[in-house]
Amino acid sequence: MSVLRAVLVTLFSLAVSLAAAQEDYDVVIRGGRLIDGTGNPWFRADVGIRGERIVRIGDLSDATAGRIIDASGLTVTPGFIDPHTHALRGIFDVPTAESALLQGVTTLTEGNDGSSPFPIDAHYREIEALGISPNWSVFVGQGTVRQLVIGSEDRPATPAELERMQSMIAEAMEQGALGISTGLFYVPGSFTPTEEIVALSRVAASYGGIYISHMREEAAQLLESVRETIQIGEQADIPVQITHHKVIGVENWGKSVESLQLVDQARARGIDVTIDQYPYTASQTGITALIPQWAQEGGTRQMIARLDSPETRPTIKNAVVEKILFDRGGGDPRNVFISRSAWDRSIEGKNLAQLAEERGLEPTPENAAEVVFDIVRGGGATAVYHAIGPDDVDRIMRHPATAIGSDGPLGVFGVGAPHPRQYGTFARVLGYYARERGVISLEQAVRKMTSQSAQRLGFHDRGLLAEGFYADIAVFDADEVGDRATFENPHQYAVGMKFVLVNGTPVVENGAHTGKRPGKVLYGPGYSGN
């Protein structure tokens, strides 16, 4: 009996395999409204997928498939591409990347703000060995390279050091980096002269890479920083992306009118400058963003020594007070919230005014500066800063050169009090900015999340619903899609995303992650394949 049963099972398996071989497609997404990523109006069509790619778009009502996804009443778009993340913080904890995929994000890019893994090939091998749900690609960080060669010293590179850094950039590009990133607001990038950045960027340009930059300043010196970024692109002959473009500090609100004019003027004279943005009026970075860069030279130990020195402490304190009043503090210590502190979880979710009051102090900027010093001494922290102009967010979003990016890590559910952008960026644009407020149309929003970043990053077979392209696809309810994460309660997944496919494999079905990990490493333009 057992032999007969085995024979029957074998015959059944063969029959199933034969039937599958005779089916037209592996997956058909049927009956949806397609927004193809070009910015064109939606149209109704079916999508046929074989293996990892889209092979047919049209009327497939009579086609057979191993899997039919009913998209009636739903919107079908390319999977979203995030051109700026810090997802290295989280990917090894949550390789399924729910916080991104439940927004429809199918590709993540790391190595931004001048900080990256190095060497690149070793990092890519770790990602491939891990197996992740989204696609993955990285920039090489100028700050990382400078730190490895020079450290955190405030000086130009010697000719020998510059040559070594150029060699490291070349190595990273050959190993598959997308281009070079800078974080000129952060140590040690802040100590880098413009001409040194140009010299390094020329190397990335020679491999077809781009230059993506967290500029030196996004507050009072915003326009000077935009000019420098454009200058680097022009002198290095490299495409430039001004990343997470925003205007910080109440007294600076409105300056996006001029910053966008600078972008338009540069493009008009042939400089390839673009932008990305996250849709929030608060930023997130280390608490040392309030400490002047000169005081951070030489690393944490020397910075703390300066905080404790009677000679330098008053000057640093005055600088912190200035930043609270006129920069990232938005004029009030209540605008600066601690989001993550590995050494003292009790301060997470509290603002500087509350922390001052817990110490028996009045919640003044001066006392808030003392709290900042205590946090730095204790081990540092990440903070959320409410100081970005809302009208500037709208204006930047409407600009045709602006793409959408999160600037966030992956959400490790329940850990810390993070910026909600890691759970909500893309869904927020679709729901709040496009559907509810009409700042941009749904078609424009999809373009800014898909083909615009694919083109900029050199992903020539992703970012569109087109025959021959990889089947990275999002299927959502346009009337429901939206963010739920807030600053008060950030650990909430986006809603409305019904199906997400990465390389043809469903990773989200009926709004829940499937556990599948079909993500690929997407190598940059200089990849040698060695």
Could you give phi then psi for residue 513, rounded to 5 degrees?
-70, 140
What's residue 21's pLDDT?
A: 55
User: Cα dihedral sign for 276, 282, 286, 292?
Assistant: positive
- SS3 of 266-286: HHHCCCCEEEEECCCCEEEEE
pTM of this structure: 0.93
* Structural tokens at position 525: 């333009």
Query: What is the full per-residue pLDDT of the chain (530 aa) written as tens digits?
Result: 445 444 444 544 444 444 445 789 999 999 999 999 999 999 999 999 999 999 999 999 999 999 999 999 999 999 999 999 999 999 999 999 999 999 999 999 999 999 999 999 999 999 999 999 999 999 999 999 999 999 999 999 999 999 999 999 999 999 999 999 999 999 999 999 999 999 999 999 999 999 999 999 999 999 999 999 999 999 999 999 999 999 999 999 999 999 999 999 999 999 999 999 999 999 999 999 999 999 999 999 999 999 999 999 999 999 999 999 999 999 999 999 999 999 999 999 999 999 999 999 999 999 999 999 999 999 999 999 999 999 999 999 999 999 999 999 999 999 988 999 999 999 999 999 999 999 999 999 999 999 999 999 999 999 999 999 999 999 999 999 999 999 999 999 999 999 999 999 999 999 999 999 999 999 999 998 85
Residue 361 and residue 354: Cα distance in Å, rounded?
9
Residue 46 and residue 399: Cα distance in Å, rounded?
31
- Residue among 465, 464, 476, 474 nearest 507 (CA): 474
| Amino acid in the structure at residue 346 | S
| Amino acid in the structure at residue 51 | G
Cβ-contact 191, 143 below 8 angstroms: no
What's residue 530's pLDDT?
A: 58
Cβ-contact 244, 406 below 8 angstroms: no
Residue 516 and residue 206: Cα distance in Å, rounded?
37
What's residue 529's pLDDT?
A: 80
What are the CB-based long-range contacts (under 8 Å, 24+) for 300-309? 300/376, 300/380, 303/376, 304/376, 304/377, 307/373, 307/376, 307/377
- Residue among 238, 228, 156 nearest 185 (CA): 228
Cβ-contact 307, 313 below 8 angstroms: yes
User: Cα dihedral sign for 413, 245, 168, 457?
Assistant: positive
The radius of gyration computed from the CA coordinates of the chain, to the nearest angstrom, equals 24
* Ordered alpha helix ranges (H), 237-364: 256-268, 300-308, 313-326, 352-358
Q: Show Cβ contacts of residue 425 under 8 Å, excluding neighbours closer than 6 positions.
A: 82, 103, 278, 279, 280, 404, 405, 406, 408, 483
Cβ-contact 258, 221 below 8 angstroms: no
Q: Is 517 exposed, middle or buried (0-12, 13-18, 19+ CB in 10 A)?
A: middle
Residue 233 and residue 194: Cα distance in Å, rounded?
11
CA separation (Å) from 530 to 121, 140, 174, 238, 523? 9, 18, 8, 25, 12
* Structural tokens at position 262: 């600078």
What's residue 528's pLDDT?
A: 87
Residue 361 and residue 358: Cα distance in Å, rounded?
7
CA separation (Å) from 431 to 103, 420, 495? 11, 15, 10
What's residue 22's pLDDT?
A: 75
Taking each continuous run of H as one helix and of E as one strand, the counts in the chain are 17, 21
Q: Show Cβ contacts of residue 258 under 8 Å, excluding neighbours closer than 6 positions.
A: 223
3-state SS class at 20: helix
What's residue 19's pLDDT?
A: 46
